[in-house]
Amino acid sequence: MIANINNEFKIDLSKPIDISIPLTNTDENPIAWYIEKPVIEPVVFGDWTGSIKEGASTNFNNISFNPHGHGTHTECLGHITRDFYSINQCLKQFFFLAKLVTIVPEMQGDDWVITRNQVKKALGISTSFDMAPEAIIIRTLPNFKIKKSLKYSNTNPPYLAEDAALFIRESGIKHLLIDLPSVDKEHDEGKLLAHKAFWNVKDINNLNPDARFDCTITEMIYVADEVEDGSYLLNLQIASFENDASPSKPILYTI
């Protein structure tokens, strides 16, 4: 199926590019934030087990997981605020023009950091007249396939500098996707500088009116090497969780 968007460009909807990481109950599942792997197991009622292999008529599993620590997820500003805000209420549109960029984080002290200048150069925004995309997708190098099963806890992964997140916000980009477990440093004393800069959250206890309620951060994606940098149509799919974050399935379509 070919979708003709406003007679400006065509999208082949039969060729999706899935940049999400599946959630499994195996050691192949990525893990962050010091938790164990997800649990997917049949419901047990007395002598009855919800598994066809165990004699039931259907498979009937419980699933226990954490969206932030177990794979691709999309979060709203409720992730860092005292008051409750839901990703299901904040994200109401699901198709966006996006730009995929590849960046090699720079060494700063003991950390690998994605800087403002790197993001600015990758986006190609040099003047106020340059149009930014609605979403940015950041693929970091090296881009080994092991990213899809990495155990990130206590490894100090690369992260986004505060002024890089501020630049993304000031450019008008509403949706930030990255192939790391967090846009912030793993051990940062709870500062969450990049999260706050992107969402324009100045006080987590008394939210400012100009905070960006309709903007999202998606973490722990994986973009294969063969997907070229450039412009795409992004379909950002979430489950209807009333929670600050939901497991998600971002899909790209070549323009």
Q: pLDDT digit string (tens) for 77-110? A: 999 999 999 999 999 999 999 999 999 999 999 9
Q: Token pair 């932030």 is at which residue?
A: 68
Structural fold of domain 5-22+70-254: Glucose Oxidase; domain 1 (3.50.30)
For residue 126, what pLDDT is reported? 61
Rounded percentage of the chain residues whose pLDDT exceeds 90: 93
What are the structure tokens assigned to 216, written together?
């999202």
In sequence order, what DSSP letters do the residues of 101-135 get, joined into one string?
A: EEE-PEEETTEEEE-HHHHHHHHT--STTSPPPSE
Q: What do you get for the CA distance between the two ends of the chain, in Å?
A: 14
Read off the pLDDT band of 36 (50, 70, 90): very high
For residue 48, what pLDDT is reported? 97
Integer Cα distance of 24 and 27 in angstroms: 8
Least confident of 129-133, 173-177, 217-221, 241-245: 129-133
- Count the neighbouring beta carbons within 10 Å of the beta carbon of residue 160: 31
Average pLDDT, the chain: 95
Instruction: Supply the Cα-derived Rg of the chain in whole angstroms.
Output: 19
CB burial of residue 147 (10 Å; 0-12, 13-18, 19+)? buried
Cα distances from 70 to residues 9, 132, 181, 231, in angstroms, run 36, 31, 9, 28
For residue 131, what pLDDT is reported? 74
Taking each helix axis from N to C end, the angle separating 162-170 and 116-123, rounded to the nearest 10 degrees, works out to: 40
CA max distance for the chain = 68
Read off the pLDDT band of 7 (50, 70, 90): low
Q: Which of 254, 217, 225 is nearest to 139 (CA)?
A: 225
CB 147 within 8 A of CB 30: yes
Integer Cα distance of 111 and 124 in angstroms: 25
- 52-86 pLDDT, tens digit per residue, is 999 999 999 999 999 999 999 999 999 999 999 99
Please compute the mean of the pLDDT values over residues 178-200 and round it to a whole number: 98
Q: Domain locations in the chain?
A: 5-22+70-254
Integer Cα distance of 134 and 169 in angstroms: 11
Rounded percentage of the chain residues whose pLDDT exceeds 70: 95
Integer Cα distance of 217 and 74 in angstroms: 6
- 117-159 pLDDT, tens digit per residue, is 999 999 997 655 457 899 999 999 999 999 999 999 999 999 9
Question: Model's pTM, two decimal places?
Answer: 0.95
CB burial of residue 95 (10 Å; 0-12, 13-18, 19+)? middle
Read off the pLDDT band of 6 (50, 70, 90): low
